[in-house]
Chain A
Amino acid sequence: MRLRHRTLRAAKRNAVRVAKRKRAFKPFLVTTWDGGVARRALCVSPATSAPSHICLSENLDETLRFIKVVRAGLEQVRIGSSAAGKRRDGRSKKNRVRQIRGYVDFSAISQFGTGAAVVLTAMYDKYRRISGITPSTVDLHKWSDEAFVTLYELGFFETVGHIAGTEQRYTDSASGDLRTMSMMTGTNSKELQRASEAILELSKFIGDKDPLRADVQVALNSALGEAMSNVAAHAYPSNDAGESGQGDLKLWWVSASADRVRRTLRVVIYDQGASIPVTLPQRSWAKAFSAARALETITSGLVAPHPQDADFIEFAMGEGNTQTGRPGRGEGLPQMRDLVQICGGGSLTILSRGGVCCYRPDVKLYTRPLPVPIQGTLIEWEMNLPKAA
């Protein structure tokens, strides 16, 4: 009862804050660009500021909240369509400045993690494929170099349909010790060789002639191929197509980044499917569900929409624990974990719907529920690459 009163008071305070902000807000001009000619537009709602650290490993909760806001905005545009500045007959009104209802402000970003950049780009990619609309960037010239360079290297601008026009800024801004691989997409392991070769090429940025040992290369390819196959086999169950509106869009998105100071290689694969907890068969749920976890979540005060999901992911990472329940299955996630051991240092992090599970050799498995779910599953390997002898 007391909790209910507290929640109501907080909601009331929040509503007052929002109303004050709305009263204080004054529309302002921005520059929009969708790969063609830059245009002026009047922004009639406040912009959503990205956090300065968008990173799934170092600022997980805030990053997930931000991703949720961006996703909601994209879905709203898709449903409501972007009719601003157009007449009902579809023709643009001449001499009238187009209006936009808010946008995402990328100017304050000082760190942009590879995993978060892949999730955001994949969301925009899905939006464009489904809607056919090329989303505009707003005030691109104000984006921080960190945000611009990461997204440029990832192929964000091509992905959303901005064919040309950003090369010069990239040439002027690119520097530093981090390089990101152009994102790839696919539906199964057909693209494994291409992805493997691109990652090997990226790893040379670290500085050595052959920074990836042969055994690490094979283990990485095996783990990545397994992840790609898992997307084809499990991520988008046939009965999910109608519910999620994904249609034939049953894709994975892969990228990687190399940090030559820390000598680390990060490889990320993401899908926007049903998630591991959802695709585990019912009989596995009972085994994985931890009452202790649920109690821990309640007593810690963390509001988690899917408190048991971290346990499901941990369960799926165990050998022989399968999404099909059939014999000989359930080796894929353990093989993904083995890569970190073969490498000799690093981590494997899996975020799936409402849980995160992080494995490091010789350290207790880290698991926890997420305050905001991630749509689908993200798998990220961080590999520490020893200096060549």
Chain B
Amino acid sequence: MEKEVLISISDFSTYPSGRDERDGPFNGTKFRETVLKPAFETARASGAKVVVSLADVMSFGSSFLEEAFGGLVRQGAVTKREMRDRLVVDPGSDINLRYRDAIMRYIDRA
């Protein structure tokens, strides 16, 4: 069984939005720095996958998703290649498929 580091965005907030503190309290920068980046560091050390669950989240603002996932690549913390190899986005339900695709798009464009 492959090792996994599990993250649920809904544990961070069910209504995440915006890029930084100015935009709102549950923003992409905060999620990236306090949740996503540490998860990648842990996963890298043990050769695990990072599984991000979108279940139970009620909003997926493009600024939030772009800053969190695209921002991680842009700041050089994780390469696009590592993102593709290590990141698994679990949409949780069919209605979130478009947001999973958006995340992958933001990573590609970063």
Contact = CB atoms under 8 A, between A and B. Distances in A.
Interface string B64-78: 101100110010000
Contacts of A226: 17, 61-63
A233 B61 contact: no
Interface in B72-110: 74, 93, 95-96, 99, 106, 109-110
Contacts of A233: 18-19, 22-23, 63
B59 interface: yes
Which of A226, A229, A332 neighbours the largest number of chain B CB atoms within 10 Å of its CB?
A229
B63 to A, nearest CB: 5
Given A188-B24, A190-B24, A328-B74, A229 B17 contact: yes
A229 B19 contact: yes
A228 interface: yes
A87 B2 CA distance: 83
A335 B102 CA distance: 11
Interface residues of B, number: 31
A228 B25 CA distance: 12
B59 A328 contact: no
Interface residues of A, number: 26
A192 B66 contact: no
A217 B25 CA distance: 21
A376 B18 CA distance: 20
Contacts of B24: 188-190, 192, 225, 228-229, 232
A189 B15 CA distance: 9
A27 to B, nearest CB: 51
Interface string A176-208: 000000000000111011001000000000000
Contacts of A332: 61-63
A215 interface: yes
B33 to A, nearest CB: 16
A285 B101 CA distance: 31
A196 B14 CA distance: 12
Contacts of B26: 189
Contacts of A225: 15, 17-18, 24, 59, 61, 64
Contact of A229 (B57, B61, B96, B110): B61
For chain A, what secondary structure do more than half of its interface residues adopt (helix, strand, loop), or is it mixed? helix
A218 B95 contact: yes
Contact of B15 (A215, A221, A327, A334): A221
A329 B66 CA distance: 8
Interface string A324-344: 000111011011000000000
A196 B62 CA distance: 17
Contact of A221 (B59, B70, B96): B59
Given A331-B62, A332-B63, A335-B62, A188 B110 contact: no
B60 interface: yes
B58 interface: yes
Contacts of A215: 95
B18 A189 contact: yes
Interface in A307-354: 327-329, 331-332, 334-335
Given A189-B18, A190-B25, A331 B58 contact: no
6 contacts: A196-B58, A214-B93, A218-B95, A222-B62, A229-B18, A327-B74
Given A214-B95, A229-B17, 13 more contacts: A189-B15, A189-B23, A193-B14, A218-B59, A221-B59, A222-B17, A222-B62, A225-B61, A226-B17, A232-B22, A233-B22, A328-B109, A332-B62
Name the 8 nearest CB pairs between A and B, nearest first. A189-B24, A225-B17, A331-B62, A221-B59, A189-B17, A229-B18, A229-B23, A215-B95
